[in-house]
Amino acid sequence: MPADLGGPGWNGWGVGVANARYQPATSAALPAASVPKLTLKWAFGYPGPVAGRAQPTIAGGRLFTASERGEVFALDAASGCVHWVYRAVAAVRTAMTVAPTMPAASGSTRLALYFGDGRANVYAVDAETGVLLWTRKIEDHPNASITGAPTVFQGRVYVPTSAAGEEVRGGRLDYGCCTFRGSVSALDAGTGAVIWKSYSIPDEPKPRAVNKNGVQLFGPAGGGIWGSPTIDIRRSVLYIGTGNGFAEPAQPTTNAVIAFDLETGRIRWAKQTLANDVWLWQCPAENPGNPNCPSKQGPDYDFGASPILTRTPQGRDLLVVPQKSGMLYALDPDKNGEIVWEYRFGEGSALGGQWGAAADECCVYVGDGGSLSPSPGGMHAVALETGTRIWYSPPAAKLCTGGADQNCFQAQGGAVTLIPGIVFSGGSDGGLRAYATRDGSLVWHADTNREYATVNGVKATGATIDGGGPVVVNGMVYVTSGYGGIVGRPGNVLLAFGIE
């Protein structure tokens, strides 16, 4: 592996700190006219527990990915052959970032692979050898996890935390709900030392009630950060989106986009799009006698996606981000997140994530991930300048069989990926689809719902594609299939498509 990041690659979550998920032609090396010729070149099976969630990273001719068992793999991007394997403490579902362990000014050329796991541990592993350089636990809460990819910028590693475990357990009478707050930590890339740590909810949880079992309850809580941080170099700001609250009192920084000062971690501003969304798994709509649950259950309309920092054709900077409510927002980064325009792409649903849009020089593209809405799925292209619809491609024929009880949905909430002329979208039904950006016509699709012969000999199947999106590098399209979990059908395969 070279000591620099030259050559085609897809590094981190959004192929750049602005998280636009746009791969230029020079790195994609996949002309739009060739996309209908894509065929499967190889498949790699994740061993152990059946779920495939990590979005691959490509750098220096290697592909980095990970399993629910905590194995981190360095593969040859062309063939899928294994270079090395590292074992993390817990499941790894984040995309990974390759970067120097020190700022370029230091003269260091050693490259590290940065990622997080399901127990809020951050790792730096030598990208060439797989040897651990350092690890740091950034959150002691027992339910804390890292789902958003670390963002590395100028010698710092910015890492978010979420806590689905507390959201699921919070309504139980034997649990002291709730004490988790989403956070972002800035770590030294060379040592893992914490430079600053800031919370999405500034106020610490305090005792608020005792339930009928005598268990002390706490609040406020929630505001998990599911997505990768976005860096605004010109304004020296870091942006994230937050999830719903877990416990009252409701907070103005849940279901919000928050701007943190890049140097200090101080919150500069927060823009909430939906107030009073306090939600816990399996709580009824109204809860007058159970203080574990919110007095009135919210809709659970998180921001799971990373905000996209982009510029309109007329030169205006915008932050564009989709929400589980089915709304796409464009915010003004110079006016404390003031809403410039909004666009409805779906009816919204508590079940089913909304993991990421993509943007080019004219438009933003987003799929509908509302699994329980009447007609989920399909793709939208929206003008950056005005927020008006350019085109809409309705849901294609569903590829899986069954309904919600088998986690078979038509939703397309996984992160979308853009190359010149084509937008790719993975679906909950196991379909990987390519749309023409000029008119939304469906030009290619692959049904991943089957068993595969893998290059590593592991028995593997495809299923739901959600969370991380496809990655396009050097004429190849890579995607993980088999998301599993509450809203997905399980599988365990990484697929690589190419043309002859």
Mean pLDDT of 8-28: 97
CA max distance for the chain: 67
Which phi and psi (to 5°) does residue 37 adopt?
-95, 0
Report how far residue 293's alpha carbon sits from residue 284's, in angstroms, rounded to the nearest whole number. 8
Dihedral of the alpha carbons of 200, 203, 207, 208, in degrees to the nearest 10: -80
Considering the chain, what is the average pLDDT of its residues? Answer: 95
Per-residue pLDDT reduced to its tens digit, 240-254: 999 999 999 999 999
Answer whether residue 271 is part of any domain.
yes
202 in a structural domain? yes
Summarised one tens digit per residue, pLDDT across range 109-138 is 689 999 999 999 999 999 999 999 999 999
Q: Could you tell me if residue 489 is inside a domain?
A: no
Report the share of the chain in percent with pLDDT over 70: 97
Q: pLDDT at residue 1 above 70?
A: no
> Hey, what's the torsion of the CAs at 94, 95, 101, 104, to 10 degrees?
-140
Q: What letter represents residue 320's amino acid?
A: V
Decide if pLDDT at 163 tops 50: yes
Residue 104 pLDDT > 60: no
Would you place residue 2 in the very low, low, confident or very high pLDDT band (cuts 50, 70, 90)? very low
In a domain, 340, yes or no: no
If pLDDT is split at 50, 70 and 90, which confidence band does 233 have? Answer: very high
Structural domain for 170, as ranges: 138-305
Is residue 464 a part of any domain in this protein?
no
pLDDT > 50? residue 259: yes
The answer to whether position 221 is within a domain reads: yes
Residue 255 sits in a domain whose CATH number is: 2.40.10.480
Q: Where are the beta strands (DSSP E) in 427-489?
A: 431-436, 442-447, 451-452, 460-461, 471-473, 476-483
How many domains does the chain fold into?
1
Q: Say which residues have a Cβ less than 8 Å from residue 34's Cβ, sequence separation at least 6.
A: 499
Contact 365, 380 (CB under 8 A): yes
Dump pLDDT digits (tens) for 380-405. Answer: 999 999 999 999 999 999 999 988 88
| Band (372; pLDDT cuts 50, 70, 90) | confident
Token pair in block for residue 136: 């740091």
Q: What is the DSSP string of 329-359?
A: EEEETTTTTEEEEEEE-S---SSS-----EE
pLDDT digit string, tens, across residues 287-317: 998 999 999 999 999 999 999 999 999 999 9
**pTM summary value:** 0.97
Average pLDDT estimate for 64-82: 97
Asked whether residue 229 is domain-assigned, the answer is yes
Cα distance between residue 359 and residue 54, in whole Å: 22
Residue 209 burial by CB count (10 A; 0-12/13-18/19+): exposed, middle or buried?
middle
Least confident of 172-186, 211-225, 400-414, 434-448: 400-414
Give 195's contacts (C-beta < 8 A, 6+ positions apart).
156, 186, 187, 188
**Tokens 């894509």 sit at which residue?**
38
Q: Residue 134 and residue 126: Cα distance in Å, rounded?
A: 10
| Residue carrying the six token digits 């403490």 | 89
Q: Are 146 and 92 in contact (CB under 8 A)?
A: no
- Cβ atoms 31, 247 nearer than 8 A: no
What CA–CA distance (Å, rounded) separates 45 from 489?
A: 16
Q: Is the pLDDT of residue 333 over 90?
A: yes
More confident residue, 327 or 404: 327
Q: Is residue 58 within a helix (H) or strand (E), and if so which, with residue range?
A: strand 57-59
Q: How confident is the model at residue 6 (pLDDT cuts 50, 70, 90)?
A: low
Flag whether 365 is in a domain: no
> Are residues 201 and 221 in contact, defined by beta-carbon separation less than 8 angstroms?
yes
